[in-house]
Amino acid sequence: MRLPELRVMGVDPGLTRCGLGAVEGRPGARLSLVAVGVVRTPPDADLGVRLVAIEAEIERWLDELRPDSVAVERVFAQHNTRTVMGTAQASAVAILCAARRGLPVTLHTPSEVKAAITGSGTADKKQVGTMVTRLLRLESMPKPADAADALALAICHVWRGGVQNRLAEALAKAQSARPPRGVRQ
C-alpha cells in the first residue's frame, strides 16, 4: 500500500526568530518544499505584542498552506532560563494555533530531528542546513538557521511522525472495531 503525501508545517519556536517551514512528501519518496520563512519580533517589544505577532503569522501560514499536521521542536532545558521561557511561549502559540484547527501536533526533540536528517543526533546547525538543502534540492541553504531547522522538523515528521501517527490511528480503529472482551457476537 502506498502512503498518501503528507503536508507538514514545522515550527522552530523562538521569540526573536521563529522559524517556519513546510514540506510535502511521504516516507521513502522525494520531498518538496512548500514554503519557508521566519517570524521576527523586536527583543525590546512587550512580550504580549511579540506573541501576538507570532500567532498572526502562524495563523496566516496555516490558512494559506493548509498542512495535514504540525511539527514543533520540543523545548529542552538550557542554562539560560529566559531563552527557555521565550521558546516555550512561542511553542505554546504554535500548538494553540494548530489545535484550534484540529490539526495533530507532534513535538520532536532537537536530537531526534538531527538524527533523522543527518544520521547523527549531535550534528551541528551547518550539517542540518546542508542536508535540508540536499533533501529538498534547493539551490542554497535556507537562512537564517531557524528557517532550515523548521524545514528539518517538517522532514523529520514526514519520515518518522507521519508513519507513527498513521500506525497509531490504524491500531485505534482496529481496536474500536473489536467487541469488548467477554462479549460474544
Whether 148 is in a domain gets the answer yes
44 counts as catalytic: no
Whether 77 is in a domain gets the answer yes
Q: Residue 118 belongs to a domain with what CATH number?
A: 3.30.420.10
* pLDDT tens per residue, range 137-175: 999 999 999 999 999 999 999 988 655 555 555 555 666
* pLDDT tens per residue, range 33-48: 999 999 999 999 999 9
User: For every residue of 85-126, which 3-state class applies, written as one string?
Assistant: HHHHHHHHHHHHHHHHCCCCEEEECHHHHHHHHHCCCCCCHH
169 counts as catalytic: no
Provide the pLDDT for residue 173: 62
Residue of 12, 24, 57, 149 marked active site: 12
The total number of structural domains that make up the chain: 1
* pLDDT tens per residue, range 1-23: 677 889 999 999 999 999 999 99
Who has greater pLDDT, 119 or 2? 119
Provide the pLDDT for residue 161: 62
Whether 182 is in a domain gets the answer no
Whether 1 is in a domain gets the answer no
Whether 80 is in a domain gets the answer yes
Q: What three-state secondary structure class fits 23?
A: strand
Residue of 24, 57, 73, 149 marked active site: 73
Residue of 24, 112, 124, 146 marked active site: 146
Q: Out of 6-10, 73-77, 104-108, pick the least confident.
A: 73-77
**Domain span including residue 145:** 6-177
> Where residue 119 falls among pLDDT bands split at 50, 70, 90?
very high
5 counts as catalytic: no
The three cell numbers locating residue 66: 493548509
Distance CA 148, CA 145 (A): 5
Who has greater pLDDT, 28 or 39? 39
Provide the pLDDT for residue 66: 97
